[in-house]
Amino acid sequence: MNGPGIELTLAPELRLFAPPSRRVDRVPTATDGASSLGHVVESAGVPLTEVGRLLVDGEEVPVSYVPRAGQSVEVFGVDRPQRIPGAPLRFLLDVHLGTLARRLRLLGVDAAYDNEDPGDPALATRSAAESRVLLSRDRGLLRRREIFAGAYVYSDNPDDQLRDVLGRFAPDLAPWTRCTACNGPLLEADKDSVGDRLEHGTQRSYDVFAQCADCERVYWRGAHHSRLERIVDEALAEFGDGATV
């Protein structure tokens, strides 16, 4: 492609999306003189969901700006915490992020997720219909125009994924208020009210404390509780209301 040349500088945190030759300052970049800056940035491999301010010769411009020959463009990452205007903060996760979905629910964060992959068009449509921030490691999915908002998940490690999302969006945390299986709200319960849903041994051994209003799953303080409590305690210490910033 031959056309007006610009110089493109990606913020360090965005350089992983670009080929190695473009991970330096002031990369000479051809444009066609008609494409928007958003298109130029996407062509460099960076999803627009990850882009914050755009500066052209030091002046902030929108993604629709059409760059001209000789201009210098700086691309910054999103601010953290990132504010999502227009709706209560809630998420939709793609099929590869099941562990992250369950951990967000454990912390009371609204996290929709299907075990069966509904496909990219259906995920994008649901993001728009329900005003949910789509979380994915698939850049092609995040490029779909119809999504309400999206975010690239930078790690494939669930511990790092959780810290990434909590640090980026700073959702309100309300542990033990949401069903980790289906995302429904948990209601207080005791052994008497859910007794017919418990195995005989379970009824003797464990302390029931909640039931899902949607799928009726019963929650009790069972064998895995200490592992979940560790996840909750660590998240509250770093990202809860009382955390030091």
Contact 197, 177 (CB under 8 A): no
Query: For Zn ion, which is the closer residue by CB, 122 or 187?
Result: 187
Residue 84's Cβ-count burial label (10 Å; 0-12, 13-18, 19+) is: middle
What token pair was written down for 231? Answer: 């996840």
Of 14, 73, 149, 179, the one binding Zn ion (CB under 5 A) is 179
Q: Is 11 in the site for Zn ion (CB under 5 A)?
A: no
- Classify residue 129 as left (phi > 0), alpha (psi -120 to 50) or beta: alpha
Query: Whole-number minimum distance, CB 148 to Zn ion, in Å?
Result: 24
Query: For Zn ion, which is the closer residue by CB, 184 or 240?
Result: 184
Query: Whole-number minimum distance, CB 180 to Zn ion, in Å?
Result: 8
Binding region for Zn ion (CB under 5 A) out of 14-22, 97-105, 120-128, 183-191: 183-191
Of 4, 38, 98, 184, the one binding Zn ion (CB under 5 A) is 184
Binding region for Zn ion (CB under 5 A) out of 17-25, 39-47, 50-58, 182-190: 182-190
Count of residues that interact with Zn ion, criterion CB under 5 A: 8
Q: Is 100 helix (H, G, I), strand (E, B) or coil?
A: helix
Query: What residues are paired with 77 via a beta bridge?
Result: 51
Query: For Zn ion, which is the closer residue by CB, 40 or 179?
Result: 179
In angstroms, rounded to a whole number, what is the distance separating the alpha carbons of residues 189 and 219? Answer: 9
Query: For Zn ion, which is the closer residue by CB, 45 or 184?
Result: 184
Query: For Zn ion, which is the closer residue by CB, 18 or 179?
Result: 179
Which residues, numbered 207-236, are part of the site for Zn ion (CB under 5 A)? 212, 214-215, 217
Query: Whole-number minimum distance, CB 182 to Zn ion, in Å?
Result: 3
Q: Is 111 in the site for Zn ion (CB under 5 A)?
A: no
In angstroms, rounded to a whole number, what is the distance separating the alpha carbons of residues 179 and 211? Answer: 8
Contact 63, 48 (CB under 8 A): yes
Peptide bond into 81 cis (omega under 30): yes
Q: Is 182 in the site for Zn ion (CB under 5 A)?
A: yes
Sheet with 149-152, strands from edge to edge, namely 111-112, 91-93, 133-136, 149-152
Query: For Zn ion, which is the closer residue by CB, 14 or 186?
Result: 186
H/E run at residue 220: strand 218-220
> Residue with structure tokens 């110089």?
7
Query: For Zn ion, which is the closer residue by CB, 172 or 214?
Result: 214
In angstroms, rounded to a whole number, what is the distance separating the alpha carbons of residues 180 and 183? Answer: 6
Binding positions for Zn ion, rule: CB under 5 A: 179, 181-182, 184, 212, 214-215, 217
